[in-house]
C-alpha cells in the first residue's frame, strides 16, 4: 500500500475511514497458518529449482563465453565485407548508420537516430492510502487515511477505483499515445544489424527543445522545460492536460548539434551482410552489443562480469526464497503458543534463527549439488561448509550439560 508523499500547505485533500473486524479465534488463526505452510512448501521447492538450475546456467554461460573468445575474428578498423568470414563469429567496432531520419509529424521533431521515443504524460488525480491497525473493545480496527494529489503520470489512473471519486475524476483516455519508432535498417560499416542487436541500443537521451522554433508549433502547444504542453499555461496545469517529451537512442547521422554518431562494439555471426546470433557448442547464444569501443577481450570480460553478477543475484534470490519457506512452514509453531506473551517472543526469535541456519545450510548443499557433476572438489568443500552450523550446535551441547 503506497504511502502519501509530503505535501506542502496546511489544507490537505484527504479523509479517513475506519473499518472493524473481530479478532480471529485460535482455529481461524490455525487455518490461516496451514495455508501459509502449503505456500512455504511451494517456495521451498521453487528455491531448490532456482539455486540448482542457476549453477548449471552459470557454468554453461562461462563455457560459451570462453568458446566464443577462442573463435572470434576481429575485423579491425577498416571494415569490409569478406565472405570468408561467413558463419563465423566476428567482432567489430564502428559508428551506427541509418538511411533516413526518424520524425514525428505531429510535433515536427526530426532526429537521425536508431530509436525515437515519444513519452506522454497526463495531469491526473492520484490517491494514496495509509493504514494502521489498533485494538479497541476486543476488536481489531483499521484506520485508513486517503490523500489526493494531482501529478503528471505516464499511465492512466482509473479514478473509479478511488474511495472518493467525486471531485477527483480523471479522463478515461489520453489525447496522445506514447510510442517508440525504430529505424527499419541499422548498419555498422557494411553490415546490417539483427533485431536482437538493435534491441540492445537503449541509451536514451532527452531531446532538448531549447532551440525549437516557436513559429513551428501548433497554436494550442507550448514549450517549457523540454516538454511540449497541450496547454497555454504549462506552469498551472489542470487535470486532463497533456505534455510530451521526446528522447532518442543511438545517434546515427553525421556530426550535428546532438553530437557524433554512436560508436558500438559488436560480437555476432556474419552471414553475408547480416550480423545474426551465434550459437555455441555449449548451448548459449552470442549476440552482444556495447555502446562504446571495446576490444574482443574487453567485450568477453564484461560478459563474464555480468554472468558473475547474475549468478550471485540468483543465489541470493534462491536463499531468500528458502528462508521465507522455512518461516512460513514453521509459523504453525508460533500460532500454537502466541497466547502466551513471553513464550511467543522467545519462540519467534528461535524460529527466525533456526530458519536462518537451515536455509543457509540447505542453500549451500543445493549449490554444491549443482556443481557436483562439473567440479566435484568444489562441491565437496561447499558441502563441508554447509555442515559447520550443525557441528557448532552439537559442540555446544556438552558445555550446557556440564553447567
Q: What are the tens digits of pLDDT across the range 156-203? A: 999 999 989 899 999 999 989 999 999 999 999 999 999 999 999 999
**Is the per-residue pLDDT at 73 higher than 50?**
yes
Cβ proximity of 358 and 326 under 8 Å: yes
Question: How many angstroms separate the CA atoms of 58 and 52, rounded?
Answer: 10
Which whole number is the average pLDDT over 245-253? Answer: 92
Question: How many angstroms separate the CA atoms of 397 and 403, rounded?
Answer: 10
Which pairs count as long-range contacts for 285-290, CB under 8 Å and 24+ apart, including other chains? 286/64, 286/65, 286/68, 286/89, 287/194, 287/196, 287/197, 289/193, 289/197, 289/200, 289/201, 289/264, 289/265, 290/264, 290/265, 290/266
Q: Which residue has the cell 568443500?
A: 381
Which whole number is the average pLDDT over 113-120? Answer: 96
pLDDT score at 215: 46
pLDDT score at 10: 45
Question: How many angstroms separate the CA atoms of 119 and 104, rounded?
Answer: 12
Share of the chain above pLDDT 70, in %: 82
Q: Residues near 360 by Cβ (< 8 Å), separated by ≥ 6?
A: 319, 386, 389
pLDDT score at 28: 56
Question: How many angstroms separate the CA atoms of 225 and 206, rounded?
Answer: 11
- Under the banding of pLDDT at 50, 70 and 90, the label for residue 337 is low
Q: Residues near 64 by Cβ (< 8 Å), separated by ≥ 6?
A: 280, 282, 283, 284, 286
Question: How many angstroms separate the CA atoms of 248 and 180, rounded?
Answer: 9
pLDDT score at 21: 65
Q: Which helix (H) or strand (E) holds 151?
A: strand 139-153
Question: How many angstroms separate the CA atoms of 167 and 115, rounded?
Answer: 40
Specify the pTM: 0.79
Dihedral sign for Cα 207, 208, 213, 216, please.
Answer: positive
Length of the chain counted residue by residue: 403
pLDDT score at 359: 86
Q: What angle do CA 78, 82, 86 make, to 5 degrees?
A: 130
Dihedral sign for Cα 155, 158, 162, 166, please.
Answer: positive
Amino acid at each position: 500500500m503506497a504511502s502519501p508523499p509530503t505535501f506542502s500547505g496546511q489544507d490537505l485533500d484527504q479523509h479517513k475511514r475506519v473499518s472493524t473486524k473481530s479478532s480471529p479465534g485460535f482455529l481461524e488463526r490455525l487455518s490461516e497458518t496451514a495455508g501459509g505452510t502449503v505456500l512455504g512448501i511451494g517456495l521451498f521447492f521453487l528455491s531448490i529449482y532456482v539455486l540448482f538450475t542457476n549453477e548449471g546456467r552459470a557454468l554453461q554461460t562461462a563455457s560459451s563465453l570462453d568458446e566464443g573468445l577462442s573463435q572470434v575474428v576481429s575485423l579491425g578498423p577498416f571494415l569490409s565485407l569478406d565472405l570468408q568470414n561467413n558463419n563465423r563469429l566476428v567482432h567489430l567496432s564502428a559508428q551506427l548508420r541509418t538511411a533516413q531520419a526518424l520524425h514525428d509529424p505531429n510535433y515536427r521533431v526530426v532526429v537521425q537516430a536508431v530509436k525515437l521515443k515519444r513519452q506522454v504524460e497526463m495531469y491526473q488525480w492520484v490517491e494514496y492510502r495509509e493504514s494502521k491497525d489498533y485494538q479497541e473493545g476486543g476488536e481489531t480496527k483499521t484506520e485508513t487515511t486517503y490523500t489526493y494529489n494531482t501529478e503528471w503520470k505516464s499511465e492512466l489512473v482509473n479514478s473509479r477505483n478511488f474511495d472518493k471519486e467525486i471531485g477527483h475524476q480523471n479522463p478515461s483516455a489520453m489525447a496522445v499515445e506514447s510510442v517508440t519508432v525504430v529505424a527499419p535498417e541499422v548498419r555498422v560499416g557494411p553490415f546490417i544489424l539483427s533485431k536482437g542487436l538493435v534491441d540492445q541500443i537503449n541509451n536514451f537521451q532527452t531531446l532538448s527543445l531549447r532551440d525549437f522554433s516557436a513559429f513551428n508549433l501548433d497554436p494550442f502547444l507550448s514549450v517549457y522545460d523540454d516538454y511540449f504542453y497541450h496547454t497555454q499555461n504549462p506552469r498551472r496545469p489542470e487535470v486532463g492536460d497533456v505534455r510530451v517529451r521526446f528522447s532518442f537512442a543511438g545517434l546515427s547521422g553525421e556530426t550535428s548539434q546532438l553530437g557524433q554518431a554512436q560508436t558500438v562494439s559488436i560480437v555476432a555471426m556474419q552471414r553475408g551482410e547480416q550480423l545474426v546470433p551465434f550459437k555455441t557448442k555449449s548451448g548459449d547464444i552470442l549476440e552482444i552489443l556495447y555502446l562504446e569501443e571495446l576490444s574482443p577481450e574487453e567485450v568477453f570480460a564484461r560478459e563474464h562480469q555480468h554472468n558473475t553478477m547474475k549468478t550471485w543475484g540468483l543465489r541470493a534470490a534462491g536463499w531468500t526464497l528458502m528462508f521465507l519457506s522455512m518461516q512460513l512452514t514453521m509459523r504453525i509453531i508460533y500460532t500454537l503458543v502466541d497466547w502466551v506473551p513471553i513464550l511467543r517472543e522467545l519462540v519467534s526469535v528461535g524460529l527466525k534463527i533456526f530458519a536462518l541456519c537451515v536455509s543457509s545450510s540447505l542453500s549451500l548443499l543445493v549449490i554444491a549439488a549443482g556443481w557436483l557433476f562439473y567440479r566435484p572438489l568444489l562441491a565437496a568443500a561447499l558441502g563441508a561448509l554447509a555442515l559447520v552450523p550443525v557441528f557448532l550446535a552439537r559442540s555446544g551441547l556438552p558445555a550446557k550439560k556440564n553447567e
